[in-house]
C-alpha cells in the first residue's frame, strides 16, 4: 500500500489518501490544541504515544467483538484505517465527574457517576461542538434512530471493556470521547482513543495523565503521555 497526498489536516492528526480507496493513513502529529484551538503547543513524541495507545486499545476492542476502523500501523505514528463516513456526533462517556460536567452541573470533581453518563455533542468547529440530544441528532439528520441506539449500546460496551483493562493497569477513566463511522452498512468505532481524547487518572494518586496536563499547565505533558503508553503498551519503545 502506498501513502499518497494529504486529504485534510485537523488539530492533531493529518489524513492521507492511499492507492487503495478503501484505506486511509492517519498520522498522529506532535501538535496540541485546547479550548477550541485558542491554546496551542507541540510536544516531542506525543503523536507516537497517542498512536501506540490508540492502536493497542483498538486491537483490544476488536478482540472483544467491537468493529473499529483500525487496520494496521504503517509506522510508529501512522495508522492505516478503513475509509469510513464519519458521523458528526462526539459521544462522551463519563464515569467520574470532571471537566465541563463540574462547571455546568452540581457534581463534585471526582464524584462517581452511577450509572455512567452518556452525552452527545454535535461535531462542528463552526458551532463550537454544542451538546445535543437524540431529537436534535435526528432533526440535524446526523444519524437514524436505529444508528443512535446502536451507537449508545456500543459506547457502553466499549466503556466497560476499557474500564476493566485500564483498572488492571492502575488507571482510572473519568471520561472520554468517541467518534463512529459508517462502513459497509454497519457502525464502526473511528478516530482515536488516546491521552488527547480521554481523561486518565492514576488510581493511587489521582494525578492527571492526559491532555488536562496541557489544558491546565499541570506539569510535564510528555512524561504523562509516556507513563500511560508504558502501562497500556508495555512493549513500547519509550
* Binding site residues, ligand 5GP, CB under 6 A: 90, 92, 99-101, 129, 175-177, 196-199, 211
Please give the Cα distance from 32 to 40 (Å, whole number): 6
H helices of the chain, in order, are 46-63, 100-104, 134-139, 145-167, 212-215, 221-232
Q: Least distance in Å: CB of 169 to ligand 5GP?
A: 18
Q: Least distance in Å: CB of 200 to ligand 5GP?
A: 9
Using the minimum distance from each CB to ligand 5GP, give the nearer residue, 78 or 90. Answer: 90
**Nearest to 16, CA basis, from 59, 91, 75:** 75
Using the minimum distance from each CB to ligand 5GP, give the nearer residue, 90 or 227. Answer: 90
Please give the Cα distance from 79 to 58 (Å, whole number): 11
Whether 104 and 92 have beta carbons less than 8 Å apart is answered as no
Comparing every residue's Cβ against ligand 5GP, the nearest one is 99
Whether the link from the prior residue into 115 is cis, omega within 30° of 0, is yes
Q: Least distance in Å: CB of 235 to ligand 5GP?
A: 26
Using the minimum distance from each CB to ligand 5GP, give the nearer residue, 99 or 170. Answer: 99
Q: Least distance in Å: CB of 174 to ligand 5GP?
A: 7
Q: Least distance in Å: CB of 236 to ligand 5GP?
A: 21
Using the minimum distance from each CB to ligand 5GP, give the nearer residue, 219 or 234. Answer: 219
Whether 158 and 189 have beta carbons less than 8 Å apart is answered as yes
Whether 60 and 54 have beta carbons less than 8 Å apart is answered as no
Using the minimum distance from each CB to ligand 5GP, give the nearer residue, 18 or 50. Answer: 50
Q: Which three cell numbers stand for residue 34?
A: 485546547
Amino acid at each position: 500500500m502506498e501513502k499518497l497526498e494529504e486529504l485534510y489536516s485537523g488539530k492533531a492528526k493529518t489524513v492521507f489518501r492511499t492507492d487503495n480507496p478503501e484505506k486511509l493513513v492517519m498520522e498522529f502529529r506532535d501538535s496540541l490544541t485546547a479550548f477550541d484551538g485558542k491554546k496551542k503547543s507541540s510536544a516531542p513524541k506525543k503523536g507516537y504515544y497517542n498512536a501506540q495507545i490508540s492502536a493497542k486499545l483498538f486491537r483490544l476492542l476488536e478482540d472483544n467483538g467491537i468493529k473499529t476502523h483500525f487496520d494496521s500501523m504503517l509506522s510508529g505514528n501512522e495508522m492505516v484505517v478503513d475509509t469510513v463516513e464519519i458521523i458528526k456526533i462526539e459521544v462522551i462517556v463519563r464515569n467520574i465527574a470532571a471537566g465541563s460536567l463540574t462547571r455546568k452541573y452540581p457534581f463534585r470533581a471526582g464524584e462517581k457517576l452511577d450509572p455512567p453518563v452518556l452525552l452527545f455533542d454535535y461535531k462542528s468547529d463552526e458551532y463550537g461542538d454544542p451538546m445535543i440530544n437524540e431529537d436534535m441528532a435526528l432533526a440535524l439528520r446526523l444519524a437514524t434512530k436505529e444508528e443512535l441506539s446502536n451507537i449508545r449500546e456500543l459506547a457502553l460496551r466499549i466503556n466497560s471493556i476499557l474500564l476493566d483493562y485500564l483498572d488492571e493497569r492502575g488507571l482510572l477513566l473519568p471520561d472520554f470521547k468517541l467518534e463512529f463511522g459508517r462502513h459497509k452498512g454497519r457502525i464502526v468505532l473511528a478516530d482515536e482513543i488516546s491521552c488527547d481524547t480521554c481523561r486518565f487518572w492514576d488510581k493511587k494518586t489521582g494525578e492527571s495523565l492526559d491532555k488536562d496536563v496541557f489544558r491546565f499547565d499541570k506539569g510535564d505533558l510528555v512524561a504523562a503521555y509516556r507513563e500511560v503508553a508504558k502501562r497500556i503498551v508495555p512493549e513500547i519503545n519509550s
